[in-house]
Amino acid sequence: MRKCFALLLIGLTVLPPAIHGQQILGSDVNGILYVTPIGGSDLGAQINAAAGGCTTGSQCQIVVVPGAQTSFSTGIVYVANESITCPVSNAIDNTNGSDDFSRLTYTGSGTAVMMGAGNGRFVGCDLLLGSSAIEGIHIGSYSNFVYDAGIRGGSAGTSLIHINGTPFASEDNHIQNTRLSDFVGNGIYIENANDTHLTSITAYGKAGNTTGTSLLVDSNGTGIVINNFVGGNSGLHGLWVRHSLGGLYPTFGFVTNFEADLANSDGILFDGSLGSANIDWTLVNSWSAGSGGTGIHISGGSGITITGGSIIRNNALDGILIDGGSEINTVITGNQIIGNNSLNTTNGSGIRITGHPNAVNIVGNVISNYNEAATGHQKYALLTQSDVEGLVFSNNLCSVNDTGCSNTSTAVTSKLTYSGNINTDIGPPASYFPGTLGVAGAITENGGLSVTQTIGSGTVTTAGTAVAAGTSQGQPEITITGAKTTDVAHCSLNAAPVATWRTGIQLLAPVVTSNTVTVWSPCSRLGSYCGVLDSTLGFQQCPSYGEMFIRRQTLSTRLCLHMREELLGHAGLQQPITILGERGRIPHLVICIQAHKPTEQQVAVHLFHQQTLPADGVQNLQQLRQQQLLWWNRRPSYRSVHAVKPSRQPGQDLVNHSADVTQWVILGRAFFVRQTTEHITLLLISSAHAFSYHSSLWISSSFSASC
């Protein structure tokens, strides 16, 4: 009671006379001036009059005393260091009758509050704008704050808050804990301003409007820091960045936890007026959903990043559309882009690219219709409808899209890196790496691995000319542009052999010279009819180093292996395979023969330099004949090729005991009729010198390759 009495006494002793018939209650205690709204008076004029009594250079605090709703038509004009505080009453209401919480109603046709002198404060006031208002609060100059305020109403041409350095320079202005609602124009409009901070803002447009924008950033709006901005029912866009006024582009936007919900058009739009300008905007952990257009539409602007768990979902068209053509360095990483294209348009996808942009990096996103299958119809996770000057699409989860993970058919593969994506619908898609692939360390096979660089291929056809036993025959040269003598070529048959080739076709490794490859057909079997059919050459330009592992079927069932009597010296399995020298050739047999569950044994063969064939292409291969069994003597293999010498092991079966069933299945029937298996042409290929009985060979190579 003593405190209240003292305040009343002071108020009575310093009460100034009425000005223009309007009651003003004020005092100079701590520089606080109290203004009581009176019916029929203009509150704007009252506040301006009170501020006129403030001491220049000192803080000027004006308190609007609680009372009934008050209308005013005179705009409030701040002086330097002025603060206006109202009883806090603002709340969000985006219905047509949202006037109940407003205490201050502006009925004029200009700006309700002009904060242009610097260091101003607008705290706790709830401001309702009439349809003639141009601006609710205009902020210019330096270091102004709007805190815990509410602004609502206006028309399509109204900005509830306009931050603009014209006619005042504008920097370091803050909007905090403020609610904007029931608008059909702009919630916040920023232009010609530097270092603007928007924190904990709610901006709900009038329900059903088609003209509003929660946040509009235009030319010369730079250094904008946004944290926790919730926008809904925006009308046009939740966020619109454009360059319509000339001068500097709107650059350096740092956006965290931004929500654009239920916009009538695109949720977030980077306008085509931005062109290729480097604007450097980053959206982190943000949201664009339920829009009538695209979730995030990038028609212009370079250096745009969308990251940090942002969610783009359930939009009518694409999740993200890049279509300006001049954008550079767009980064989309670590987001959820789900259930978009709710209108089920023909090409609507999670991410769609058209217009030929530059440098698009899409990494580590979830792009799917999963959990939105009832409404989402993304055709692809990624759809390109133009080339892209550098596109990375890697490590994305792209399952459950209507058509597939991606369609990048319009992107030139030399500009595309596509790897590590996961599609659980049909398995992981293939990966593409432009240029040379360098690998540090080992490449581990997991379910099949093939690392090659094919530089050309070709086909040669002969009439099947007989080749004498023990000789070889070169076929016409195949031109392979770029071939080098150090390269490795592989060839295979394109057609089944004729019946007379019952004992096998022999293909030596092709001879590679500059820009040409020659296929050689040898025959080392006495009494055989050998030749070459139509064969196709695949050419790999890649030096290889390492070991080759060879698996083959057991010897013919017509030869019994008397292990206990003959020990192991006769067995073809122990014989080395000769590697021809000097010209970089390896006598490859055909790869991918399907063995019928044979007993497998591995032999490690070390690669040596290879040996040149004679100039006329015909060579006596007597040295490559089968090695004799049963401890027969023969001269050593030519030029530093050594037999593999596994340690001897005691036999496990008695003499004349039958071998395991799996070693007898294939060859048992071949004694009477042609052999039967999945690839008859492959099983007819036997080595010219590696073993003495007809058997099929399957080669699996593990190399360290440098392409």
Instruction: With 0.95 as the threshold, say if the pTM is over it.
Output: no
C-alpha closest to that of 171 among 135, 109, 225, 134:
225
User: In terms of domains, do 283 and 427 share one?
Assistant: yes
> How confident is residue 31, by pLDDT bands cut at 50, 70 and 90?
low
pLDDT digits (tens, 9 = 90+) for 274-303: 999 999 999 999 999 999 999 999 999 999
Structural domain contains residue 75: yes
User: In terms of domains, do 506 and 357 share one?
Assistant: no
User: In terms of domains, do 352 and 499 share one?
Assistant: no
> How confident is residue 621, by pLDDT bands cut at 50, 70 and 90?
very low
pLDDT at 7 over 70: no
Residue at which a domain ends, from 188, 204, 220: 204
CA distance readout (Å), 426 to 142, 401, 422: 59, 11, 9
> For the domain that residue 371 is a member of, what is the CATH number?
2.160.20.10
User: In terms of domains, do 393 and 478 share one?
Assistant: no
Q: Are 106 and 112 spatial neighbours (Cβ–Cβ below 8 Å)?
A: yes
Structural domain contains residue 1: no
pLDDT the model gives residue 405 = 95
Per the structure block, which two tokens stand in for 191?
A: 């232009």
pLDDT the model gives residue 8 = 27
pLDDT the model gives residue 450 = 55
Per the structure block, which two tokens stand in for 676?
A: 């039967």
CA distance readout (Å), 216 to 41, 135, 272: 35, 14, 15
pLDDT at 271 over 70: yes
Full strand arrangement of the beta sheet holding 454-460? 454-460, 535-540, 488-493
Q: For residues 608 and 367, which has the higher predicted lDDT (pLDDT)?
A: 367
User: In terms of domains, do 401 and 294 share one?
Assistant: yes
> How confident is residue 79, by pLDDT bands cut at 50, 70 and 90?
very high
pLDDT the model gives residue 482 = 77
Measured at the CA of 223, the angle between CA 329 and CA 214, to 5 degrees, comes to 90
Structural domain contains residue 580: no
pLDDT, mean of residues 176-205:
96
For the chain, the maximum distance between any two Cα atoms, rounded to a whole number of angstroms, is 135
pLDDT the model gives residue 202 = 96
pLDDT the model gives residue 366 = 97
pLDDT at 575 over 50: no
Structural domain contains residue 34: yes
Where is average pLDDT lowest: 69-83, 139-153, 577-591?
Answer: 577-591
- Cα separation, 473 vs 659, in Å, equals 39
| Amino acid sitting at position 514 | S
pLDDT at 317 over 90: yes
C-alpha closest to that of 283 among 317, 299, 300, 259:
259
Q: What is the mean pLDDT of the chain?
A: 74
Per the structure block, which two tokens stand in for 71?
A: 């209308």
Which are the contacts of 87, defined by CB distance < 8 A and separation ≥ 6? 64, 66, 103, 124
pLDDT the model gives residue 77 = 96
User: In terms of domains, do 411 and 311 share one?
Assistant: yes
Structural domain contains residue 688: no
pLDDT at 98 over 70: no
Q: Does the bond joining 167 to the residue before it have cis omega, within 30 degrees of 0? A: yes
Residue at which a domain ends, from 204, 227, 243: 204
Phi/psi of residue 156, each to 5°? -65, -25
pLDDT the model gives residue 514 = 83
Structural domain contains residue 211: no
Highest mean pLDDT of the ranges 19-28, 141-150, 474-483: 141-150
Q: Are 162 and 185 spatial neighbours (Cβ–Cβ below 8 Å)?
A: no
pLDDT the model gives residue 192 = 96
Where is average pLDDT lowest: 38-52, 89-103, 507-521?
Answer: 89-103
> For the domain that residue 178 is a member of, what is the CATH number?
2.160.20
Q: For residues 95 and 433, which has the higher predicted lDDT (pLDDT)?
A: 433
Which are the contacts of 219, defined by CB distance < 8 A and separation ≥ 6? 191, 192, 242, 243, 244, 245, 246, 247, 248, 249, 250
Where is average pLDDT lowest: 43-47, 423-427, 642-646?
Answer: 642-646
pLDDT, mean of residues 376-381:
96
pLDDT at 353 over 70: yes
Q: What is the dihedral of CA 219, 225, 229, 231, to 10 degrees?
A: 10
Domains of the chain: total: 3
pLDDT the model gives residue 399 = 94
User: In terms of domains, do 382 and 501 share one?
Assistant: no
User: In terms of domains, do 174 and 274 share one?
Assistant: no
> How confident is residue 68, by pLDDT bands cut at 50, 70 and 90?
confident
> How confident is residue 506, by pLDDT bands cut at 50, 70 and 90?
low
pLDDT the model gives residue 497 = 61
pLDDT digits (tens, 9 = 90+) for 384-415: 999 999 999 999 999 999 999 999 999 999 99
Q: Are 24 and 51 spatial neighbours (Cβ–Cβ below 8 Å)?
A: no
User: In terms of domains, do 177 and 290 share one?
Assistant: no
DSSP string covering 588-623: PPPS-----S------EEE---B-PPPTTS----GG
**Within a 13 Å sphere around the CA of 15, how many CA atoms are in the beta-carbon half?**
11
Q: For residues 129 and 592, which has the higher predicted lDDT (pLDDT)?
A: 129
Where is average pLDDT lowest: 289-303, 359-373, 659-673?
Answer: 659-673
User: In terms of domains, do 177 and 282 share one?
Assistant: no
pLDDT at 623 over 70: no
Q: For residues 11 and 597, which has the higher predicted lDDT (pLDDT)?
A: 597
Which are the contacts of 654, defined by CB distance < 8 A and separation ≥ 6? 564
pLDDT the model gives residue 152 = 92
Q: Pinpoint the alpha helices (H) of 609-679.
A: 665-670
pLDDT the model gives residue 500 = 55
Structural domain contains residue 237: no
Per the structure block, which two tokens stand in for 606?
A: 């070390």
User: In terms of domains, do 33 and 147 share one?
Assistant: yes
Task: Domain of residue 302: give its range.
Answer: 265-434
pLDDT digits (tens, 9 = 90+) for 211-269: 999 999 999 999 999 999 999 999 999 999 999 999 999 999 999 999 999 999 999 99
Structural domain contains residue 552: no
Residue at which a domain ends, from 399, 434, 469: 434
Looking at the DSSP bridge assignments, the partners of residue 460 are: 535
User: In terms of domains, do 464 and 422 share one?
Assistant: no
pLDDT the model gives residue 499 = 58
